[in-house]
Amino acid sequence: MTLETTFVPLTVEELPALAAAKKADGWRFVQILAVNTEEGIDLIYSFMKDNLLENREIKAIQKGAVVPSITDQFLEAFVFENETHDLFGVNIQGIAIDFGGNFYALAQKEPMTIISPEQKAAREKAKKVAAAKAAKEKAAAAANAAYKAEHPTPKEPGEPIVPTGDDDAELKLAGADPEKVARARAAIAAKAKKAAEGAAQEQKDAALEEKLAGMDPDKAAKVRAAMEAKAAREAAAAEKEGE
Amino acid sequence: MGKATVIPFGPQHPVLPEPLHLDLVVEDETVIEAVPQIGFIHRGLEKLVETRDYNQFIYVAERICGICAFGHSMGYAETVEKLMGVEIPERAEYLRVIWHELSRVHSHVLWMGLAADAFGYESLFMHCWRLRERVLDIFEKTTGGRVIFSVVKVGGVVRDIDDAMFAEIKRVLEGIKDDYRQLCNAFLKDSSVKNRTVGVGVISHEDALAMSMVGPFARASNVNNDARCLGNGGYGKLADFQPVLDGQGDCYARVKVRALEVLQSIDIIEEMIAKIPAGDIVVDVKGSPAAGAEAANVVEQPRGECYYYARGNGSKYLERMRMRTPTSQNLAGMATALAGCDLADVNMIVLTIDPCISCTER
C-alpha cells in the first residue's frame, strides 16, 4: 500500500455537499490550509481514506467572501477554521466552536496575508524568469519558421547557416579573373566563419544570462563584475600583443 | 446536581509542559463540558518559508518542536523531494527510519515519565527519564546533537553511521529492552497506577472514527491511522508492520499502546540495521521547485500522523509550507474525552492524549 495524493478543484458552493458526501463515504478529515496568492486566497481541504489523500482546492477567494463551515460534518475542523480566520482573514461562518477571532493571540491582524519584501521579490523574479523563457521560446520558434520558409530542404543539425546573398556572389564570380575569384572566395569563407563564431558566442552569452537570472542578485552582480574584469584583462593582453 | 461552575485549567498548570487552556464547566465534581484554547505561543514559523530558501528551512522545520524535531525535518524534506521529483539513496531512507524510530522511543519514554509524575509516582518518572538518556546518548554519538540533529537535508542525510556504531546501538537497545520491560510492569500491572487509568476518559471506536483522531490516541480506540502502514521511504522495506492497537479507548489503553510501541520501534531499528544497504547517503539537488507545483505528504510522528504541504513559485523560496500536526487533529477528541469525567481525572486524560502545543501553533 503506497500513499496516493491527488489535487482536485472545488468551488465554495460545492463544499457543504462534498463534506457530507465524504462523511457518508467513510473518509476522514485531515486538514484545511490557506495560501495567500495575488489573485486571492486558495483554500485546500484534505480528506483521507485508506491510502488515498485527496486535496480539494478552492481557488482565489476574495476578501469578504463567505465560506461555510464544515464542522457540522467534521467537528475537528474547528481548529483549522478558526486558524484560517485569524491568520488569513477568511470569513468562515457557522463554526461549531467559534473563537470570534481570538483563537491565536496575535500582535498583527491577519499576518499571513502580509506580503513580505522577500516574497514579493521572489514572485517578481519567478515572473521575469518565466517571461524570459517564454520570449526565448517564441523567438526560437519565429527564427525556426523564418529559416524553414527560406530553406525548404531541411539541413543537417549543427551545419552552419551560410549568410544569404552568397548564391548571387557565386553568379557574379563566374567568368571573372581567377586570382580575383580566389580572393573573393576566401573573403566569403572568412565572413561565414566569423558569422558562425558570432552565433556560437551569442548562444553562450544567452545561456550565461539565463543562469545569472536564476542566481541570488548579489552573487550575480559579483559574477558579472568578475567577467567584465576578465574581458578587460584579455583586451589589454591582446593590445599588448598587437604592439 | 449543583450549580455549573467554570474552572480555568492552564495555560500554566503543573501537569502541562506547554501552554494549553481549558475552560472546564463542572457540576459538583463532574466535568460537563471542556472548551480547549491554544494560541499563546504562535511563532509564525510557516511564514518564515518566504525568507528562508528550501534548504535553509529544514533548520526551521526541525525547531518546530523539541520532541518531534527529527520527524519534522524528515517530513519537510520528503515533501520537498516529492515536489521536485528527487529520489534519495536507499541507505539514506534506512538511516532516516532508524533516527525517526529512535525519536519515537525517546518521545514515548519521555511521555511515560511525565504521566508517572502526573499520577504522583516520582521514582517511576526518574527511571523513565534515566532510560531516555541512553537514547539521547545514541543521538549525540551519531549526530552530534541530543535534541536538534540537523542530519536531514533535501536529497538525503548529511551523516552516515558506520558498522561499529550500529553494533553499539544494538547493544544499547538490548540493554534498554530489559530495563524497559520492568518499567512496563509498573505502568501496566501496578494496581495503584491502574486505579488512575483503567476506565478513565473513554473514547469509543465510533467517536474516534467520527472525529478523525490520529496517533496512539486513535490506536487505543482500535482505529488504525498509522501512516507507517503506507510504506513511505524506508518503511516500505519492513518485512511486516502491524500497528499496535487496543480496543478499550481509556487512559490505560493509551498507556499500553505507547508502552508496546517502544518495543516495536526497537524491533524496527534492529531490522533496519540488519538490512541497511551500502552506498551513497545523499544526492545533489539542483534547481528550484516549479511555479505552482504542489506536493502533500503524511508522516507518522510519535504523537500521530502529521500532514505536510508545499507549493513552489519558481524560485528557491517556497510559496507556502504547511504542517498539520497530530494535536490539532486530536483537540476535538480531547474535549469529548473530558466531557463527563471526574475533575481529578482531567490531568490524566490530558496527559494520555499528549498534546504538543508548540507543534500545533508553530
Size of interface A-B (CB pairs under 8 A): 117
Q: Which helix (H) or strand (E) holds B5?
A: strand B5-9
Q: Which three cell numbers stand for residue B337?
A: 474525552
pLDDT in tens, B60-84: 888 888 788 898 999 999 999 998 8
Mean pLDDT lowest for which of A84-98, B34-48, B96-110, B130-144?
A: B34-48
Name which of B46, B50, B361 is nearest A116 (Cβ-Cβ).
Answer: B50
Residue A55 bridge partners (DSSP): A7, A46
B22 to A78, B7, B8, B329, B343: CA distances (angstroms): 15, 8, 6, 16, 12
Name which of A44, A104, A214 is nearest B309 (Cβ-Cβ).
Answer: A44
Residue B296 bridge partners (DSSP): B309
Q: To probe the interface with B, which of A76, A81, A95 has the most B CB atoms within 10 Å?
A: A76
Reported confidence tier of residue A174, pLDDT bands at 50, 70, 90:
low
Q: Would you call B314 and A130 a contact, using CB atoms and an 8 Å cutoff? A: yes
Place of cell 500513499: A3
Residue of A nearest to B45 (CA): A112
Q: Which helix (H) or strand (E) holds B323?
A: strand B318-324
Reported confidence tier of residue A176, pLDDT bands at 50, 70, 90:
low
Closest CA to B167 of B140, B138, B147, B144: B138
CA A145/CA A24 separation, integer angstroms: 57
CA B70/CA B18 separation, integer angstroms: 19
- Is A84 within 8 Å of chain B by CB? no
Q: Would you call B332 and A79 a contact, using CB atoms and an 8 Å cutoff? A: yes
- Is A46 within 8 Å of chain B by CB? yes
Single-letter code of the amino acid located at A84 = T
Cβ under 8 Å to A: B residues 17-56: 35, 37-40, 42, 44, 46-47, 50-51
Task: Check whether A17 has a pLDDT greater than 80.
Answer: yes
Question: How far does the CA of residue B136 sit from the closest CA of chain A (Å)?
Answer: 31
Percent of the residues in chain B that have a pLDDT greater than 70, as a whole number: 99
- Is residue B109 within 8 A of residue B181, CB to CB? The reply is no
Question: How far does the CA of residue B359 sit from the closest CA of chain A (Å)?
Answer: 13
Q: Would you call B50 and A119 a contact, using CB atoms and an 8 Å cutoff? A: yes
- Is A2 within 8 Å of chain B by CB? yes
- Is residue B308 within 8 A of residue B322, CB to CB? The reply is yes
Closest CA to B22 of B358, B333, B346, B329: B346
Quick one: residue A91, left, alpha or beta (phi over 0 = left, psi -120 to 50 = alpha)?
beta
Q: What integer pLDDT is reported at residue B89 of this predicted model?
A: 92
pLDDT in tens, B274-310: 989 988 888 888 888 888 889 999 998 888 889 999 9
Q: What integer pLDDT is reported at residue B100 of this predicted model?
A: 93
Question: How far does the CA of residue B212 sit from the closest CA of chain A (Å)?
Answer: 5
Percent of the residues in chain B that have a pLDDT greater than 90, as a whole number: 23
- Is A120 within 8 Å of chain B by CB? no
The DSSP-derived string for A22-72 is HHHTT-EEEEEEEEE-SS-EEEEEEEEETTEEEEEEEEEEPTT-EEE--TT
Q: Which three cell numbers stand for residue B103?
A: 525519536
Is domain A4-113 in CATH 3.40.630.10, yes or no?
Answer: no
Reported confidence tier of residue B151, pLDDT bands at 50, 70, 90:
very high
SS3 (DSSP) at B297? strand
Q: What integer pLDDT is reported at residue B340 of this predicted model?
A: 83
Q: Which residues of A touch B38 (CB under 8 A)?
A: 103-104
Single-letter code of the amino acid located at B146 = R
CA B177/CA B179 separation, integer angstroms: 6
Q: Which positions ≥6 away from A224 have C-beta within 8 Å?
A: A212
Place of cell 544567452: A206
Q: To probe the interface with B, which of A75, A82, A99, A216 has the most B CB atoms within 10 Å?
A: A75
Residue B22 bridge partners (DSSP): B9, B36
B64 to B232, B251, B290, B322: CA distances (angstroms): 22, 27, 26, 12
- Is B279 within 8 Å of chain A by CB? no
Q: Would you call A76 and B51 a contact, using CB atoms and an 8 Å cutoff? A: no
Backbone angles phi, psi at A223, to 5 degrees: -65, -45
- Is residue B309 within 8 A of residue B79, CB to CB? The reply is yes
- Interval B260-264 mean pLDDT: 91
- Is A203 within 8 Å of chain B by CB? no
Burial of residue A236 (number of CB atoms within 10 Å: 0-12, 13-18, 19+)? exposed
Q: Which of the following CATH numbers is that of domain B39-322: 1.10.645.10, 3.30.300.280, 1.10.1060.10, 3.40.50.970?
A: 1.10.645.10
ipTM of the complex: 0.86
Task: Check whether A74 has a pLDDT greater than 80.
Answer: yes
Q: Which residues of A touch B40 (CB under 8 A)?
A: 105
Q: Would you call A130 and B291 a contact, using CB atoms and an 8 Å cutoff? A: yes
Task: Check whether A44 has a pLDDT greater than 90.
Answer: yes
Task: Check whether A196 has a pLDDT greater than 80.
Answer: no
Backbone angles phi, psi at B283, to 5 degrees: -115, 150
CA B73/CA B308 separation, integer angstroms: 11
Name which of A30, A75, A112 is nearest B211 (Cβ-Cβ).
Answer: A75
Q: Which ranges in chain A are annotated with CATH 3.30.460.80?
A: 4-113
Cβ under 8 Å to A: B residues 215-234: 225, 227, 229-232
Question: How far does the CA of residue A178 sit from the closest CA of chain B (Å)?
Answer: 58
Q: Which residues of A touch B46 (CB under 8 A)?
A: 112
Closest CA to B102 of B42, B150, B147, B60: B147
CA A36/CA A54 separation, integer angstroms: 21
Q: For chain B, what is the mean pLDDT? A: 87
CB atoms within 10 A of CB B60: 20
Determine the distance from the C-alpha atom of residue B102 to the mean position of all C-alpha atoms in its chain, rounded to a whole number: 11
Q: Which residues of A touch B231 (CB under 8 A)?
A: 1-2
Going by the DSSP 8-state scheme, the letter that residue B14 receives in this structure is T
Residue A66 bridge partners (DSSP): A91
Q: What integer pLDDT is reported at residue B345 of this predicted model?
A: 84
pTM of the model: 0.76
CA A46/CA B329 separation, integer angstroms: 12
CA B225/CA B307 separation, integer angstroms: 12
- Is residue B26 within 8 A of residue B32, CB to CB? The reply is yes
pLDDT in tens, A99-134: 888 888 788 888 888 887 877 787 787 778 888 888
